[in-house]
Amino acid sequence: MVLSVLLELIMISFVMMMNSLLNFFFSKKIQFKREKMTPFECGFEPKKMFRSSFSLRFFYILLIFLIFDVEIVIILPMPYCMFNMNFFLWVLMFTIFLLILIFGLIMEWSMGSISWS
Closest CA to 64 of 113, 117, 115, 116: 113
What is the reported pTM?
A: 0.44
Domain limits at 96?
56-111
Domain total of the chain: 1
- CB proximity list for 55: less than 8 A, separation 6 or greater: none
Is 88 within 8 Å of 94 (Cβ atoms)? no
Q: Which amino acid is at 70?
A: V
| Residue at 7 is within a domain | no
Rounded CA separation 100/10 (Å): 54
In a domain, 38, yes or no: no
pLDDT by residue for the chain (117 residues), tens digit each?
A: 778 888 999 999 999 999 999 888 887 666 666 666 666 666 555 565 556 666 777 777 887 888 778 887 888 888 888 788 888 888 888 898 889 888 888 888 887 777 766
**Cα separations (Å) of 62 from 68, 114, 116?**
10, 11, 13
